[in-house]
């Protein structure tokens, strides 16, 4: 794939993710809650107000951007995530390899936050995610895909909705 074709593909994926995020905001209020938290081991993401869960989703770790090293690191190449179920993110790498897209198949490369959003947009489109979230940290950002979005009213009644 040529660089021009790759940039067009990223543009299409970005439009897809923006529309999906907008829908998640409209339908579930994503981005309007006091607090968010996630658990990589259980692959759950939750939003709450006053310590009470308002919405939740299943998550997939896409990758991270380091402001220290100025690099992108795909989750499948991150040794700190070896013991975590990463879901279908490997399908993005496989797609990159089969279509000769280096940024999708190389584990780590020079990048900034914009690159993180681009790779998350591509992953969202390829994996048909409902939304994505960028979690800030001291040294950069962790990018996550969200699926099976639901309000707390739609979750398992056996689940404790207090944090």
Residue 115 phi/psi, 5-degree rounding, is -65, -40
This prediction has a pTM of: 0.90
Instruction: Render pLDDT for 48-86 as a digit per residue (tens, 0 to 9).
Output: 999 999 999 999 999 999 999 999 999 999 999 999 999
Mean pLDDT, all residues of the chain? 92
pLDDT score of 158 more than 80: no
83-105 tens-digit pLDDT: 999 999 999 999 999 999 999 99
Only one residue has tokens 């299943």, namely 58
Residue 161 has pLDDT above 80, yes or no: no
Tell me the pLDDT tens digit for each residue of 103-138: 999 999 999 999 999 999 999 999 999 999 999 999
pLDDT class of 31 with cuts at 50, 70, 90: confident
Exposure string (b/e) for 118-144, b if CB count within 10 Å is 16 or more?
bbbbbbbbbbebbbbbbbeeeebbbbb
């Amino acid at each position: 794939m040529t660089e021009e074709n790759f940039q067009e593909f990223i543009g299409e994926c970005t439009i897809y993710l923006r529309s999906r995020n907008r829908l998640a905001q409209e339908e579930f209020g994503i981005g309007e809650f006091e607090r968010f938290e996630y658990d990589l081991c259980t692959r759950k993401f939750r939003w709450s107000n006053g310590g009470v869960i308002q919405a939740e989703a299943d998550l997939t770790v896409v990758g991270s951007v380091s402001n220290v090293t100025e690099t992108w690191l795909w989750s499948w190449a991150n040794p700190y995530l070896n013991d975590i179920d990463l879901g279908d993110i490997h399908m993005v790498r496989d797609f990159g390899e089969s279509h000769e897209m280096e940024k999708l198949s190389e584990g780590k490369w020079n990048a900034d936050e914009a690159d993180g959003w681009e790779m998350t947009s591509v992953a969202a489109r390829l994996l048909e995610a409902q939304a994505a979230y960028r979690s800030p940290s001291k040294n950069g950002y962790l990018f996550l895909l969200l699926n099976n979005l639901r309000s707390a009213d739609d979750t398992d009644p056996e689940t404790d909705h207090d944090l």
